Amino acid sequence: MADSTLETLNRCLSLVPIVLQHQGISVDELAKRAFSTREQVLEDLSSTLLMCGVPPYFPHDYICFSLEGDRVHMAFADHFRRPVSLNAIEALSLKIACESTAPLGERPNKSIQVLLRKVEESMGPKQRSLFRSLSKRVRLAEDAVESGSSIQQRLASALFDRRVISLDYVAGRDGVARALDLHPYGGVHRDGHWYLVALVEGESAPRFFRFDRVRGMRVLDRHFEIPASLRLEEWTRRPLLGFEAHQRAKVRFTGVAARWIREGAEAGSVEDGADGSALWYPQIADEESLAKVLLAFGGEFEVLAPESLRQKVQRLLQAVLTAHS
Amino acid sequence: MAVVSKLERLMNLVAVLLASKHPIPFSAIRGQVIGYDDAASAEALEKRFERDKRDLRQLAIEVDYTDQNPDQLGYVIRRERVTQREMEFTHEEAVVLSMAARVGQVATGGGLLGEALKSALRKLSVDLPDGDIAAEIHALTSLRAQSGDPGAQMTLAALAQAVAGSRRVRFKYAPLSGTAAVRQLDPYGIGMVRGAWYVVGHCCHQQEIRTFKLARIQGEVDLCGQGQGPDFDVPVEFALARHLREEGWELGDNKPLTVLLRVPQGAPTQIMPARAAEVSSDARGVRFELSVRRPAELIPWLLARGGAVVVDAPQSLRQQVCEAAEALLQTNAVNHTIATPEQLAASAG
């Protein structure tokens, strides 16, 4: 819905039923329910809805709202008593969001399924039919755990019970397997892979572990507590290559690789070069991993800074040549 | 009469059609409803009405014309078809909705789907009980995030609607190599692979099923034809997953080539692609066979392994890997001027 007029109309048509259903609701509560701001709600009420009425436009033919202190009341708006049915895209978004929290390796629980069925039945017949068709023809990221179902099940159980685990893990940067005792805080699926967010015992901050690098796992007979401040959703935005990445690299991509990086890089991290190239400024926390990411983009790039990253790229390429000689 | 804003006009049109118990002829809208009472010609007002109906349809508000009763001809918004039925949510369901709101932006990837989620929750909140349940949300143990490429967000809505309604579309597409051209497509499905959206459908030009990356669509996606659709039937044998493969070397219709890869002794074999099949093992390492349709697409993956995976056959691919590594080594040669940290900070802003 690119048209801002339609966005405002959609918002206003949802605002009225909330007030009618909850007469006397506070402006802040209304803003919260409407996923809006206090200022936006007041603007919608006073500038848009107050202008709306039906012929012959006598005073009581216009929507009337009043603010008593901080409490909102509304009258003469019975025709807007129910919100417009969810459209197919809205219902799809809701389905994605609700199902996104299903436990590892499990289908969404019964309450999610019942809720989504209830929502579907509340929709208008046309939108319901569109939504059913759309749900079958939209495929999101693969929800598979690459390293096998038994690890997945034991991990899900450890997550639920807050049990310490011992992990045999192959680090991406050097390919060396290590045994680590971890406090598993949660699993995050992003960019096509599952990651475990976990604290290594003895370390001060949790970090990512990619599921497909787990070679083995044991659940230990010890428990832990998840810090109250941990928000799993914040970990879906953290750089995968590190956690305290203050420094940025500078890499120039040319040719087809420039298109790739423009399409795929984090917003705001790419500049256009004068010659049609693309300059990428990725965060650096682990140079070895970043060098591998650069090589995986395919051809036509040059590390402009730092020198150490350039050397890492050279070493990897030399290793490729040696292995193939 | 002054011309009022489009927003005010649309609000008034919806209000009058929802408030009326009977169909309203256009003659009772023209000159009566604010927004249709200015000095524009009758033809202009009619065109305005048609545009408004089309816009309202985007919000799932269908304005229908009814002629079932000769005494009551005119336009209606059928409340029972357009508005949301009343719902009662259990406490547990309200918690689920609250959780969906909390993780919504990351779960949907933001953009169009994120905004659509907010709109959905806003509509559902009318039936939610009073009280703050946010505090009752238990700690999450897993979360699936959709990153979604920003370039795709503009076209996702139009394509999703076209997929849902089986409507033929037209758009300008810039492939990774070659020039941009207009394509007509019967979109069978859309999907996301590693954060990027793709549409799969029958390409009218190439007369075969093709996959297009949404981020490479230039400009708007237009519907072909004026009808309501459906414009095509999706073949029963169509399976979306088959066309949304995750690796570049699996794409396309080239004859599959079997590549023999070797993981040298002592190196981890977990790094091999899921579809690689182990075939033998000896002192030199573990060998795998991988079916590949685009061998060139495998080269970046091999370079990124840094020698931990070796091509044993075919020789031509082995040679190409070496050539690619040598070319990149030359570009990233040692004696190049490297930016100072100050220059880097300045250019990174």
Residue A229 sits in the same domain as residue A305: no
Residue that the structure tokens 């436990």 belong to? A103
Of A188-197, A219-228, B165-174, B279-288, minimum mean pLDDT range: A188-197
Chain B, residues 149-178, CB within 8 A of chain A, namely 149-151, 154, 157, 160-161, 163-166, 176-177
Query: In chain A, which residue's Cα lies nearest the Cα of B216?
Result: A263
- Cβ pairs A/B, distance under 8 A: 439
Instruction: Determine the pLDDT at residue B105.
Output: 82
Distances (CA, A) of B107 to A176, A198, B100: 33, 20, 8
Distance between CA atoms of residues A242 and A244, nearest Å: 6
Do the domain assignments include residue B343?
no
Residue B100 sits in the same domain as residue B69: no
Residue B66 sits in the same domain as residue B116: no
Do the domain assignments include residue B336?
no
Annotate B116-138 with b (16+ C-beta within 10 A) or e (fewer): bbbbbbbbbbbbbeeeebeeeee
Residue B168 sits in the same domain as residue B240: yes
Instruction: Determine the pLDDT at residue B162.
Output: 87
Residue A132 sits in the same domain as residue A162: no
Residue B232 sits in the same domain as residue B317: no
Residue B177 sits in the same domain as residue B226: yes
Confidence of residue A246 (pLDDT cuts 50, 70, 90): low
Look up the CATH number of the domain holding residue A277: 3.30.70
Q: For the segment A63-116, what is each residue's pLDDT rounded down to a tens digit? A: 888 888 899 999 888 889 999 999 988 999 999 899 888 877 677 788 889 999
Distances (CA, A) of A20 to A30, A32, A64, A77, A90: 11, 16, 11, 8, 23
Q: Between residues A50 and B198, which one has the greater pLDDT?
A: B198
Contacts of B16 in chain A (CB under 8 A): 54-55
Three-point CA angle A129, A134, A137, nearest 5°: 135
Confidence of residue A184 (pLDDT cuts 50, 70, 90): very high
Q: In this complex, is the C-beta atom of B2 within 8 Å of any C-beta atom belonging to chain A?
A: no
Handedness of CA B162, B163, B165, B169 (dihedral sign): positive
Do the domain assignments include residue A144?
no
Question: Is residue A200 over pLDDT 90?
Answer: yes
The structural domain count of chain A equals 4
Do the domain assignments include residue A143?
no
Do the domain assignments include residue B342?
no
Instruction: Determine the pLDDT at residue A229.
Output: 86
Residue B239 sits in the same domain as residue B266: no
What lies within 8 Å, CB to CB, of B300 at 6+ separation is A295, A296, A297, A298, A299, B324
Residue B72 sits in the same domain as residue B95: no
Residue B104 sits in the same domain as residue B173: no
Chain B, residues 35-54, CB within 8 A of chain A, namely none
Residue B179 sits in the same domain as residue B212: yes
Distance from CA of B329 to the nearest CA of A (A): 6
Percent of chain A with pLDDT over 90: 34
Chain B, residues 103-122, CB within 8 A of chain A, namely 103-108, 112-122
* Cβ-contact B290, B296 below 8 angstroms: no
Do the domain assignments include residue B348?
no
Distance between CA atoms of residues B279 and B286, nearest Å: 8
Instruction: Determine the pLDDT at residue A147.
Output: 42
Handedness of CA A34, A36, A38, A41 (dihedral sign): negative
Instruction: Determine the pLDDT at residue B119.
Output: 94
Do the domain assignments include residue B226?
yes
Q: Which residues in chain B belong to E strands, given as ranges? A: 64-66, 74-76, 142-144, 169-173, 181-193, 196-203, 208-213, 217-223, 257-264, 277-282, 285-292, 310-313
Do the domain assignments include residue B69?
yes
Cβ within 8 Å, pair B193-A141: yes
Q: In this complex, is the C-beta atom of A103 within 8 Å of any C-beta atom belonging to chain B?
A: yes
Look at residues A236, A259, A279 and tell me which one is the last residue of a structural domain. A236
Q: Which domain holds residue B110?
A: 91-136
Residue A299 sits in the same domain as residue A251: yes
Do the domain assignments include residue A75?
yes
Task: Nearest by CB to A8, from B7, B164, B325: name it.
Answer: B7
Look at residues A236, A263, A293 and tell me which one is the last residue of a structural domain. A236
The structural domain count of chain B equals 4
Q: Running along chain B, 349 residues long, what does each successive block of 10 average in pLDDT?
A: 84 93 92 90 94 90 89 91 92 88 83 87 90 64 71 78 88 85 94 83 92 88 82 88 79 87 85 87 94 92 93 96 94 64 49
Look up the CATH number of the domain holding residue A211: 2.30.30
Instruction: Determine the pLDDT at residue B148.
Output: 62
Cβ within 8 Å, pair B121-A10: no
Cβ within 8 Å, pair A236-B106: yes
Distance between CA atoms of residues B68 and A291, nearest Å: 70
Residue A266 sits in the same domain as residue A314: yes
Residue A231 sits in the same domain as residue A283: no
**Which backbone phi and psi does B195 adopt, to 5 degrees?**
85, 0
Q: For the segment B251-289, what is each residue's pLDDT rounded down to a tens digit? A: 777 899 999 999 998 877 777 887 899 999 999 999 999
Chain A, residues 230-269, CB within 8 A of chain B, namely 230, 232-233, 235-237, 248, 250, 256, 259-260, 263-264, 267
Q: Which domain holds residue A15?
A: 4-80
Do the domain assignments include residue A173?
yes
Query: In chain B, which residue's Cα lies nearest the Cα of A273?
Result: B347
Instruction: Determine the pLDDT at residue A150.
Output: 66
Q: How do strand A71-75 and strand A247-248 relate by DSSP bridges? A: unpaired
Residue A122 sits in the same domain as residue A193: no
Question: Is residue A117 over pLDDT 80?
Answer: yes
What residue type is assigned to position B191 of the chain?
G
**Which backbone phi and psi does B317 adopt, to 5 degrees?**
-70, -40
Nearest to B101 by CA among B127, B120, B78: B120
**What secondary structure letter does DSSP report for B83?**
B
Do the domain assignments include residue A48?
yes
What lies within 8 Å, CB to CB, of B319 at 6+ separation is none
**Which backbone phi and psi does A273 adopt, to 5 degrees?**
-85, 160
* Cβ-contact B206, B255 below 8 angstroms: no
**What secondary structure letter does DSSP report for B248?**
G
Instruction: Determine the pLDDT at residue A120.
Output: 95
Distance between CA atoms of residues A199 and A182, nearest Å: 5
Do the domain assignments include residue A210?
yes
Instruction: Determine the pLDDT at residue A192.
Output: 67
Do the domain assignments include residue A55?
yes
Residue B160 sits in the same domain as residue B227: yes
- Highest mean predicted confidence (pLDDT) among A133-142, A253-262, B312-321: B312-321
Instruction: Determine the pLDDT at residue A270.
Output: 87
Do the domain assignments include residue A242?
no
Residue A264 sits in the same domain as residue A207: no
Do the domain assignments include residue B276?
yes
Nearest to A11 by CA among B123, B186, B17: B123
Task: Nearest by CB to A212, from B103, B124, B270: name it.
Answer: B270
Instruction: Determine the pLDDT at residue B133.
Output: 64
Do the domain assignments include residue B231?
yes
Instruction: Determine the pLDDT at residue A189.
Output: 82
